[in-house]
């Protein structure tokens, strides 16, 4: 448990950096709205908010030893965390909305989308590091790495479910039957497998680099 406590100071530093990055994203978006008088990209603010929810959940968990020690607190919160985690890497797919706009140079929209994407990815990686540290203590480091690998693949599938099937995290409770049916039918197609493996492996490699750099 001392290992968890020793990460709290660095966790706060990371949170401040992510807050500043989010503020930069919002400022850049508002500048675009002011220049173009278009609210087209305002959905990015909602997507970024969803991307930060897993970080909020994991931060509450890692800063409360009681939550980590007691299974009836830890695992339900971990499941809730996992349901929202795909929202972090999902922002990568928002690049499909990039298009030429005569009101602003294309580099500005590229900067806008990159800013939101990096903010979402970093918040997700930070949250995953929280979970990895907790799983390393509750289980062991090897099982924690295996768990992270599985989580990354689930995130890859979650990106497919969100982008192509158009479901949200809360649809697990709101529309469980249709969600389950659509997910099962997708297993017979090649696109879900490609997205799951592609984005899942990419996220795992990013986490490995992120975790190694932080050590």
pLDDT of 214 reads 66
Q: For 87-146, what is each residue's pLDDT tens digit?
A: 999 999 999 988 877 788 999 999 999 999 999 999 999 999 999 999 999 999 999 999
To the question of pTM greater than 0.95 for the whole model, the response is no
Among the listed residues 145, 119, 156, the one whose alpha carbon sits nearest the alpha carbon of residue 20: 119
Contact criterion met (CB below 8 Å) for 160 and 192: yes
pLDDT of 10 reads 55
Q: How sure is the predictor about 4, in pLDDT bands with cuts at 50, 70 and 90?
A: very low
Q: How sure is the predictor about 1, in pLDDT bands with cuts at 50, 70 and 90?
A: very low
Alpha-carbon gap, residue 95 to 42, rounded angstroms: 14
What number is the average pLDDT over the span 27-44? 94
Q: At which residue do the structure tokens 């970093």 appear?
A: 122
How many other β-carbons are positioned within 10 Å of the β-carbon of residue 59? Answer: 19
Alpha-carbon gap, residue 15 to 13, rounded angstroms: 5
The CA-based dihedral angle spanning residues 82, 148, 71, 64, taken in that order and rounded to the nearest 10 degrees: -80
Q: How sure is the predictor about 215, in pLDDT bands with cuts at 50, 70 and 90?
A: low
């Amino acid at each position: 448990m001392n290992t968890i406590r020793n990460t709290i100071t660095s966790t706060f530093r990371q949170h401040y950096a992510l807050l500043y990055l989010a503020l930069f994203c919002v400022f850049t978006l508002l500048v675009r709205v002011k220049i173009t008088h278009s609210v087209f990209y305002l959905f990015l603010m909602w997507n970024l908010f969803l991307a930060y929810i897993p970080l909020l959940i994991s931060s509450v968990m890692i800063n409360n030893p009681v939550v980590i020690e007691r299974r009836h607190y830890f695992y339900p919160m971990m499941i809730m965390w996992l349901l929202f985690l795909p929202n972090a890497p999902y922002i990568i797919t928002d690049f499909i909305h990039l298009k030429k706009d005569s009101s602003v140079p294309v580099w500005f929209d590229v900067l806008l989308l990159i800013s939101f994407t990096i903010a979402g990815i970093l918040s997700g990686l930070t949250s995953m590091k929280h979970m990895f540290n907790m799983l390393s203590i509750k289980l062991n480091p090897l099982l924690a790495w295996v768990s992270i690998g599985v989580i990354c693949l689930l995130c890859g599938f979650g990106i497919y479910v969100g982008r192509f099937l158009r479901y949200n995290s809360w649809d697990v409770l709101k529309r469980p039957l249709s969600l389950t049916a659509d997910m099962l039918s997708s297993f017979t197609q090649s696109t879900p497998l490609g997205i799951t493996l592609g984005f899942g492996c990419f996220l795992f490699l990013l986490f490995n680099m992120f975790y190694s750099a932080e050590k």
